[in-house]
Amino acid sequence: MKIIIVGAGEVGFHIASRLALENKDVVVIDTNESALKRVSDNLDVQVLNGSGSSPVILDEAGIKSAEVLLAVTDSDETNLVACLVSNLISPSTKKLARLRHADFDKYHDTFRENAPFIDTVINPEIEVVKTIDRLMSVPGAVDISEFADGRVKFIGIRLDKDAKVAGVRLSKLSSRAGKTAPLIAALVRKEELIIPDGDDKLLPGDTVYFISEESKLLETLEFFDKFIEPVKRVMIIGGGRIGFRLAELLEKKSVYAKIIEKNKDCCSKLAGRLNKAVVLCGDGSDQELLLEENIRDMDVVVTMTGDEETNILASLLAKQLGARKTITKISKFSYFPLMTTIGIEQVVSPRLSAINSILQHIRKGKVLSAASIKGEQAEVLEAVALETSDIVGKPLKDIPFPKGVLVIGILRNEDVIIPTGSSVIKPEDRIIIFARRQAIPKIEKILAVKLEYF
C-alpha cells in the first residue's frame, strides 16, 4: 500500500512513523528541510523536498500509484490545492485533507458530497472538543473512544488505591465485586501496555481499559468505584479557536463557562461571539486571578492556550487551588510520557485527534473508526465483518488470531454483544477489535480478504 503524506509536521511525522512500522510504502513531501531531515533520520520512508500542491512534485512522488494522499500541512489552502491537483493527475487515489479553520466547518459535507477532488475532511479541533466533552462526562477517565454511534464506549480509567477491586486477580473480579465484571482489554502499568489474563491483578495506579455499553456505563463505572457527578461549572484557560469551540458547546448544554484569555483583541471577539460565557482578560497561570475567580468552585478547568508549558503550569496550579478536575491540551508528543509522573492525568491533543481520524480512512477492509491507545502502542478498530473473512462463522476461541489481538465487542443490528470464546461473528456484524501495533497489518488482512494462513 502506497501512501503520500503532504506535510512533515507533528501529524505527518507520526502518521508516517505508524505506517512505516507497518511496512507500508510511504512518501513524505514538505518544503521545510529541517522537518524532512527529522523524518529521514528517524523513519524508513522516502522524503521529497517541494510543494505538495505542485503537479511535478506529486508526479515525482508517485501519485498515480498511490492508494491514499494525506494533506496534513498547517495550511488549509495548501491541503485543498494538494487534493485538487492530485485528483487531476490520479482520480482513483483517495484524498484526505486536514482543514482547521472554522470558516470551513459548515462546508465539510459539501466537500465530501460535491467536490470530487476530496474524499474526507478532517478537523482535529472539532474532534478534540468532542474528546474533552466525553472526558468531562466520565469521572476518572483518561481515555475514551466511542463506537457504534456512541452506543459502545471503550474507556481507560485510573484505578484508585481504595477501589474494592484493587489487588484482585481478574479471574476473581466478579466474585469480589458481587456482580459480573466488564471485559477488560488492557492495562497500562508504568507506561507498559499489558494484555492481561485471568492471573493478572489490578493494581492501584493502573490505567484499566474496558468496554461498556452506553446504557450500562453507570453500573460499569461503579464496579471501579467511579461515580458520575454532573459538570455545572467549567473554566477555560485560553480563548483561541479550540477554547471558543468548547465554550460554544458548553453554552448549548447550559453549562456555566468562564474563559480567561491574555490577548485583549481576542477577548473582545469572544465577548461579541458568545452569549452566556464570562470572558476575562488576564493570565490563566496567575494564582491571584484564579483565586479571585473562585477556581475551587470549578468542576473542570480546561487549559487550552497555544503554549504547552503554560497549559501544564495552569493545570497543576488549578489542581493545587482546589479545582475538582483538569484537562490539559498538549501538542508535543514527547511530553506525553511525563504527564502522569507530574500529576496530570487527563490530556488531549488536536494532533492525536487528527491521527485517529486519519487512521480509519487508511485501514484496509471496511473499517468504520479507529483510535490509538497509549500513544502508538495499540489501536481499537471498529469494522464490518465481510462474508469472505476467516473470522466469520466459527467460535472466537477456534480462530487463530495473531498475538496481541482481542475481539472486545460485536454489534448485530441493534444488539451489543460482549463476546466470550463461544461467540460467533456473522457476516455484516460490526466488530470492535483491540490490537497491539505489531498485529495491525495482520488484522488488516483478516478484515479485507479471506486468509489461507496467518
* 3-state DSSP assignment of residue 244: helix
Same domain, 427 and 376: yes
Looking at 167, 200, 223, the residue that finishes a domain is 223
Same domain, 102 and 158: no
* 3-state DSSP assignment of residue 368: strand
* pLDDT given for residue 113 in this prediction: 74
Taking only the tens place, the pLDDT of each residue in 156-170 is 998 988 888 999 999
* 3-state DSSP assignment of residue 276: coil
Looking at 68, 91, 122, the residue that finishes a domain is 122
Residue 249, domain extent: 233-348
CATH classification of the domain holding 152: 3.30.70.1450
* pLDDT given for residue 364 in this prediction: 61
Its pTM surpasses 0.75: yes
What's the Cα-to-Cα distance from 390 to each of 362, 384, 411, 449, rounded to whole Å? 21, 13, 18, 8
Same domain, 336 and 418: no
* pLDDT given for residue 451 in this prediction: 39
Q: How far, in Å, CA of 352 to CA of 125, rounded?
A: 11
Same domain, 268 and 186: no
* pLDDT given for residue 150 in this prediction: 83
Successive 10-residue mean pLDDT values, the chain, 454 residues = 93 88 90 95 95 95 95 93 94 91 80 79 89 85 85 90 90 79 88 87 92 88 84 94 94 94 94 93 92 93 93 94 92 81 86 80 71 76 84 88 89 88 91 88 72 38
Is the separation of the CB atoms in 239 and 279 below 8 Å?
A: yes
Q: Are strands 207-213 and 184-189 parallel, antiparallel or unpaired?
A: antiparallel
Q: How far, in Å, CA of 407 to CA of 236, rounded?
A: 38
Q: How far, in Å, CA of 201 to CA of 221, rounded?
A: 18
* pLDDT given for residue 443 in this prediction: 82
Q: How far, in Å, CA of 36 to CA of 48, rounded?
A: 8
Residue 127: inside a domain, yes or no? no
Q: How far, in Å, CA of 372 to CA of 145, rounded?
A: 9
Same domain, 85 and 20: yes
* pLDDT given for residue 174 in this prediction: 83
Domain tally, the chain: 4
Same domain, 215 and 242: no
Residue 357: inside a domain, yes or no? no
Same domain, 90 and 151: no
Same domain, 116 and 15: yes
Same domain, 219 and 237: no
Looking at 76, 94, 122, the residue that finishes a domain is 122
Q: How far, in Å, CA of 225 to CA of 173, rounded?
A: 13
